[in-house]
């Protein structure tokens, strides 16, 4: 199992204790769920192992968002099932989005799977392990409670950084997306619960909090009497927590960014000038068919405002090419947008036709060859932009959070404010003095590649 997908810091257990291995696929929000499940396992005295050949039980927390994610999940299930014959594995458990969406299909098509747990059953993980292996355990009851998010968890992120999940579910109903049907409506955690977790993380040595939700800008809208989002309030409270150095925001929907959020971003010195805007497209006609709020003009204005009010800010987005009905003119507008706005980070995806979504039946569907051609064209544009922007960083000095040591032992690996964990490139650097994982040190950039940078500690 990939060490990045397995819980670290497990305590020593007796040889008789059942060993459990965990693989977490998909997004950061899914990773938090995996960390909570492993926390529950540790609390029940199970032993956590990173070696699948030594695991008595293997748990796979799956993603089921798009076709490629589903295929990765199925491939992983089959790969781990091999340890029933080559290792110690006696039980294979599948949890997460794929289980929620396709429980019946998994039960019928994958006899290797012994237990299936949907989104509402993460707190049943120990029960699933303890159930007699002769009976397949299936729990897919709808449960919109988010109390499980208050459970203890074991961090799988590198030392110094942790995700902080502030809400579950989504109300946006984008035409291409199955998340609302998988994870339910948008539900915010209470301010007190979030702050308690953040303080606990800070006391354990965490320096960077990465704030995640399906739509972070909507945080608290379902809690406040006025119906207004409370993200600005949350940021100001988090900014006061001692020992936290960085607060990074992911998943800000442009149409929901309020004046209060802009004010908080300027006021809170710990909130990084890193803006993650999942735009998906800029053509008004495509945005309308996607059921996305806002317009191409609003998107451009928001980006310009961030750049004027937060000098040096890094802007990241994700885009979908080949959405049903996307014309060549729509594609050209998206390409021109990339050239015009010169965004720092861009993830591009070809549209994935998903059962149960509004877009599934939309016509005309774009041919695969056309989607791939448009993808290549957009990536070519962004690759040049990324290379240029990285080159402009040569000679500059950044605070870098140290996350690892390279296999050759010569370089440390870390990130500055400009790199989100797991999403962006890394900074490789040398150091004259010994430093520790989780430290924040100053690094001068010497070499720039398309996505990664190389430097030296100063």
DSSP at 46 = P
Concatenating the DSSP letter of every residue in 426-440 gives -EEEE-SS---TT-E
Question: If residue 370 lies in a helix (H) or strand (E), which one and from where to where?
Answer: helix 368-391
Reading the block at residue 457, the tokens are: 């500690």
Predicted confidence (pLDDT) per residue in 1-34, tens digit: 443 333 344 444 444 789 999 999 999 999 999 9
Q: How far apart are CA 261 and CA 236, in angstroms?
A: 10
Question: If residue 37 lies in a helix (H) or strand (E), which one and from where to where?
Answer: helix 28-43
Cα distances (angstroms) measured from residue 194 to each of 82, 234, 246, 417: 40, 9, 16, 22
Q: How far apart are CA 273 and CA 21, in angstroms?
A: 37
Written out in words, the top-level CATH class of the domain with range 3-139 is alpha beta
Per-residue pLDDT at 413 = 97
Reference 319, options 350, 289, 274; nearest CA is 350
Per-residue pLDDT at 6 = 37
Q: For residues 10 and 48, is the Cβ–Cβ distance under 8 A?
A: yes
- Judged on CB neighbours under 10 Å (0-12, 13-18, 19+), 63 is buried
Q: How far apart are CA 29 and CA 251, in angstroms?
A: 11
Per-residue pLDDT at 8 = 40
Per-residue pLDDT at 97 = 93
In terms of DSSP H, where are the helices of 82-167? Answer: 83-86, 97-109, 125-130
Q: For residues 83 and 55, is the Cβ–Cβ distance under 8 A?
A: yes
Reading the block at residue 184, the tokens are: 């339910």
Per-residue pLDDT at 4 = 38
* Residue 355 φ then ψ, to 5°: -55, 145
Per-residue pLDDT at 143 = 82
Reference 257, options 210, 218, 288; nearest CA is 218
Residues of the chain with pLDDT under 50: 1-15
The full length of the chain comes to: 458
Angle CA(452)–CA(456)–CA(458) in degrees, nearest 5? 135
Reference 212, options 189, 229, 178; nearest CA is 189
Per-residue pLDDT at 211 = 98
Determine the topology of domain 147-391 in CATH: pyruvate-formate lyase- activating enzyme (3.80.30)
* Sign of the Cα pseudo-torsion (29, 35, 40, 46, in order): positive
**Within 13 Å of residue 196, how many CA atoms lie on the same side as its CB?**
9
Per-residue pLDDT at 74 = 96
The separation between CA 239 and the C-alpha centre of its own chain, rounded to angstroms, equals 22
In sequence order, what E strands does 118-259 have?
Answer: 137-139, 161-165, 167-168, 187-188, 208-212, 246-249
397-457 architecture in CATH? Beta Barrel (2.40)
Per-residue pLDDT at 5 = 39
Per-residue pLDDT at 136 = 85
Domain boundaries, the chain: 3-139, 147-391, 397-457
């Amino acid at each position: 199992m990939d060490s990045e997908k397995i819980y670290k810091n497990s305590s020593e257990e007796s040889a008789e204790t059942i060993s459990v291995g965990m693989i977490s696929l998909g997004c950061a929000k899914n990773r938090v769920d995996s960390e909570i499940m492993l926390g529950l396992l540790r609390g029940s005295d199970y032993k956590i192992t990173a070696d699948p050949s030594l695991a008595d039980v293997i748990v796979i927390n799956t993603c089921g968002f798009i076709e490629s994610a589903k295929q990765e999940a199925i491939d992983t299930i089959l790969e781990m099932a091999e340890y029933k014959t080559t290792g110690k594995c006696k039980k294979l458990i599948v949890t997460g989005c794929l289980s929620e969406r396709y429980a019946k299909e998994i039960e019928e098509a994958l006899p290797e799977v012994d237990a299936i747990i949907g989104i509402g059953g993460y707190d049943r993980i120990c029960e699933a392990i303890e159930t007699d292996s002769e009976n397949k355990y299936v729990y897919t009851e709808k449960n919109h409670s988010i109390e499980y998010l208050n459970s203890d968890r074991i961090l799988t992120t590198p030392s110094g950084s942790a995700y902080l999940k502030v809400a579950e579910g989504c109300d946006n109903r984008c035409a291409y997306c199955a998340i609302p049907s998988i994870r339910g409506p948008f539900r915010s955690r209470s301010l007190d619960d979030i702050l308690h977790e953040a303080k606990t993380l800070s006391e354990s040595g965490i320096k960077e909090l990465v704030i995640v939700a399906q739509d972070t800008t909507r945080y608290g809208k379902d809690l406040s009497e006025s119906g207004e989002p409370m993200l600005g309030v949350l940021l100001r409270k988090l900014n006061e927590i001692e020992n936290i150095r960085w607060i990074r925001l992911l998943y800000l929907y442009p149409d929901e960014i309020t004046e209060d959020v802009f004010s908080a971003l300027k006021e809170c010195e710990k909130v990084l000038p890193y803006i993650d805007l999942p735009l998906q497209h800029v053509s008004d006609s495509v945005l309308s068919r996607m059921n996305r709020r806002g317009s191409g003009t609003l998107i451009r204005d928001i980006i310009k405002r961030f750049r004027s009010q937060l000098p040096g800010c890094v802007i990241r987005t994700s885009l979908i090419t080949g959405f049903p009905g996307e014309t060549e003119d729509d594609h050209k507008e998206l390409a021109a947008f990339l050239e015009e706005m010169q965004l720092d980070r861009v993830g591009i995806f070809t549209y994935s036709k998903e059962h149960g979504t509004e877009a599934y039946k939309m016509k005309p569907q774009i041919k695969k060859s056309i989607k791939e051609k448009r993808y290549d064209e957009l990536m070519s544009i962004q690759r040049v932009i990324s290379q240029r922007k990285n080159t402009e960083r040569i000679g500059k000095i950044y605070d870098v959070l140290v996350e690892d040591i390279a296999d050759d032992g010569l370089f440390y690996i870390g990130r500055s404010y400009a790199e989100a964990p797991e999403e962006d490139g890394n900074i490789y650097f040398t150091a004259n003095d010994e430093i520790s994982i989780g430290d924040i040190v100053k690094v001068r950039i010497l070499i720039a590649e398309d996505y990664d940078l190389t430097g030296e500690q100063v």
